[in-house]
Chain A
Amino acid sequence: MSIIIDEKTRLIVQGITGNEGLFHTRQMVEYGTKIVGGVTPGKGGQSVDNIPVFNTVAAAAKETGANTSVIFVPPAFSADAVMEAADAGLKTIVCMTEGIPTLDMMQVKLYLKGKNINLVGPNTPGIISPGKCKIGVMAGYIHKQGSIGLISRSGTLTYEAVDFLTKNGFGQSTCIGIGGDPIIGLNFVDLLALFEKDRQTKAVVLIGEIGGTQEEEAAEFHKKRMKKPVVAFIAGKTAPPGRRMGHAGAIISGGSGTAAQKIKTLEKAGIPVVDYPELIPGELKKILRK
């Protein structure tokens, strides 16, 4: 087991003929991800590394039996790309794009309502179930299959954590970047719920940062509905208020969304929060020994 993606995932790449799309398509294929098609409007009928390209997601889904899509298209077209994938019946959509306007994401979320779709991102490094399937831009080879679930709002900070886990003998069930934007698809709570049910996962690492209230909601969920242990790291203790720290969603506004508040709430809910990412494996050892 693992969550959201596995060896049965059949992926199409929206924006497969772009620079980023093509580079990462090759990286994903190399990792073993089953990419069954690509979409670039106007380039239907062509192929890329023997992967057929279609004009529309609907056509790609119909011809290939895809169940998942990854989006590598510019911000102005990304909201539409997510809706197109949803319309074509794909059940998991991973949106890599950074820079989608917040109001566009509000529309996307309304469009997805009631459709039972897993949206990962936007502005995410992607999702990987090690040894089974990789969708996104993370380096596959730092991961190892195992029993730790990982959820994060960040990119390189996640790779750091994964690297420490792997080097300390902790493999991963699924690692997922939920995205650095203010409005995203699957959130911490959705994923904690999935990890709680996943038999492969024994513990979860949660990497949060300033802005919003997701960490607080995760703490509440863990306290009330979760038996599996969670270890957390929160970035942004020294971030000044009112400034966007790289990620559009990483901003302390109106005195809320501070790291101190999040750490306090998580610890109160029984989730240990480490000071350095490199301390995550040690904390996991402690918890799993109990």
Chain B
Amino acid sequence: MKIHEYQAKQIMRNYNIPVPKGGVADTADAARDVAAGMGGNVFVVKAQVHAGGRGKGGGIKTAKTPAEAGTLAKAMIGSKLVTPQTGAEGKTVNKVLVEEGVDIAHEIYLGIAVDRANECPVIIASSEGGMDIETLAKTSPEKIIKEKVDFSVGLRAFQLGKIAFALNLDAALRKQATQIISALYKLFVEKDCSLAEINPLVITKGGQMIALDAKLNFDDNGLYRHKDVVEMRDIQEEEPLEVEASKHNLNYIKLDGNVGCMVNGAGLAMATMDVIKLAGGEPANFLDVGGGATTEMVKNAMRILVSDPKVKAVFINIFGGILRCDTLAKGLVEAIAEVEVKFPLVIRMEGTNVEIGRKILKESGLKLIVAATMKEAAAKVIAEVRH
């Protein structure tokens, strides 16, 4: 799960990580008031959307007066922000974060992530902050510091020292850096993060370290023990069909193509998208109805697919294991009959009792195109789309 920058900064503030003074606003007036309340003569207005690269898309702007901050906020709120990460259609800005301006002397990168291969958290730092870490990893990997944490003993003082010295910081800054890194690690572990990132962590001209940006992603599997984090979920940031699907425990991800698919099992669902592409089509979605593919799940899934205006035809790919194909076919027929479907359905079913299953599909009275293999089904569904 993702949260906004202003929410990440709230959490960081609770862990004594210094962040700029500021407040969130959803109207121009509120933005102006936040700026006026802080005082000063430089304000930064930052669009709050779940996407990076906001600066490049015009989502981060500076103002000299509270009135100007209000004007900038007015232009941003309600507009679509297009950044390198949002795709061409952009994301609607509903809130802005208004902060005091900071005199930047130097920018550092600091992040904590899960090192899957070593099965531990890893601290990532670089004295070249500001740019995204993936680009830096490609252009100058030698400038990236990685420190693995032995999870049985946690992050140790010597490791903090290693990172701080590698960042070439003087004594006063080392002290601040170690405090911030150890606080961020504590936050990462206590909140079940999958990523905790401060980019940039800036050193001000006055010699203070401060988290200018903040990003926290959470392990979905850990959310059950963090009600406070779950409350920060902003469903306006999510694709409405994905929100709807998640209510029914469906694994659904909307994509840009027009060939819908519905599959039992995540691996098979990915493989189905791949064969659609391989056969010359574009998948409209990833959709896993669960290994069992119960009638209820299929019904809900069909409703989601019907709600996507881009979908021109659907490829249903089901493997019958414990639930054999005859049972699955009956469930499918019942679900499809109940949901009004206007596009062609190509069904490929495989597994135990497949002949009986296919017979039930063919004799259902529904307009179903039955295919024997994934390749054949992909070709048929694409032919329907081009029809």
Residue pair A246, B116 in contact (C-beta under 8 Å): no
How near does chain A come to B282, taking the closest CB pair, in angstroms? 8
Residues of A within 8 A of B352 (CB): 139, 141-142
Q: Name the residue of chain B whose CB is nearest to the CB of A240.
A: B255
The answer to whether A213 touches B116, judged by C-beta atoms less than 8 angstroms apart, is yes
Instruction: Write the B257-297 contact mask toward A (1 if CB under 8 angstroms, else 0).
Output: 00000011111111101111110000100101001000000
Q: Compute how far the CA of A207 lies from the CA of B351 in the bound complex, rounded to whole angstroms.
A: 18
CB-nearest residue of chain B relative to A180? B266
Question: CB-nearest residue of chain A relative to B138?
Answer: A255
A residues less than 8 Å from B291 (CB atoms): 125, 137, 155-156
A132-154 with Cβ < 8 A to chain B: 137-139, 141-142, 152-154
Are A246 and B283 in touch, CB under 8 angstroms? no
Asked whether B134 lies within 8 Å of A255 as measured between CB atoms, the reply is yes
Docked CA distance A109–B288 (Å): 29
Contact status A246-B222, CB under 8 Å = no
Binds B, one of A9-17, A44-52, A61-69, A99-107: A99-107
Point out the residues of chain B lying under 8 angstroms from A238, CB to CB.
255, 270, 273-274, 276-277, 283
Q: Which residues of chain B are within 8 angstroms of A156 by Cβ–Cβ distance?
A: 263-265, 267-268, 291, 319, 321
Chain A residue at minimum C-beta to C-beta distance from B149: A106
A152/B267 contact (C-beta < 8 A), A102-B194, A102-B219, A246-B288 known: yes
Given A137-B322, A240-B255, is A248 in contact with B270 using a C-beta cutoff of 8 Å?
no
B119 at the A/B interface (Cβ < 8 Å)? Answer: yes
Given the interface pairs A237-B277, A276-B275, the reply to whether A246 lies near B269 with Cβ below 8 Å is: yes
B192–A276 CB distance below 8 A: no
Q: Is the CB of B253 within 8 A of A213?
A: no
**A163 close to B283 (CB less than 8 A):** no
Q: Interface centre among B189, B220, B222, B321, by most A CB within 10 Å?
A: B321
Tell which of B219, B270, B276 touches A103, judged by Cβ atoms closer than 8 Å: B219
* Measured CA separation A276–B194 after assembly (Å): 32
Q: Are B266 and A101 in contact (CB under 8 A)?
A: no
A42 at the B interface (CB under 8 A): no
**B253 in contact with A110 (CB, 8 Å):** no
Q: Known: A102-B222, A137-B291. Is A160-B350 also a contact (CB below 8 A)?
A: yes
Contacting B224 at CB < 8 Å: which of A76, A105, A210? A76
Could you tell me the distance between the alpha carbons of A280 and B224 in the complex, rounded to whole angstroms? Answer: 40
B133 CB within 8 Å of chain A: yes
Contact A212 B117 (CB under 8 A): yes
CB-based contact A155/B267 at 8 Å: yes
Shortest Cβ distance from residue B338 to the other chain A in the assembled complex, whole angstroms = 24
Q: Say which residue of B251, B268, B271, B322 sits within 8 Å of A139 (CB atoms).
A: B322
Residues 96-128 (chain A) with a chain B CB within 8 angstroms: 99-107, 109-110, 125
User: Which residues of A are in contact with B by a Cβ distance under 8 Å?
Assistant: 27, 75-76, 99-107, 109-110, 125, 137-139, 141-142, 152-160, 163, 180, 182-183, 207, 209-213, 217, 233, 235-240, 243-250, 254-255, 259, 275-278
- Which residues in B have some Cβ–Cβ distance to A below 8 Å? 114, 116-117, 119-121, 133-134, 137, 151-152, 189, 192, 194, 219-222, 224-225, 251, 253, 255, 263-271, 273-278, 283, 286, 288, 291, 319, 321-322, 324, 350-352, 373-375
- 25 example contacts (A-B, Cβ-Cβ < 8 A) are as follows A75-B224, A101-B221, A103-B151, A106-B151, A109-B119, A139-B321, A154-B265, A154-B268, A159-B351, A183-B119, A210-B270, A211-B116, A235-B268, A236-B274, A238-B276, A239-B286, A245-B251, A245-B253, A245-B270, A246-B265, A248-B220, A255-B134, A276-B375, A277-B374, A278-B375
Sample of 7 more A-B contacts, CB < 8 Å, known A210-B270, A235-B268, A248-B221: A105-B119, A154-B265, A154-B267, A155-B265, A155-B291, A247-B266, A276-B374
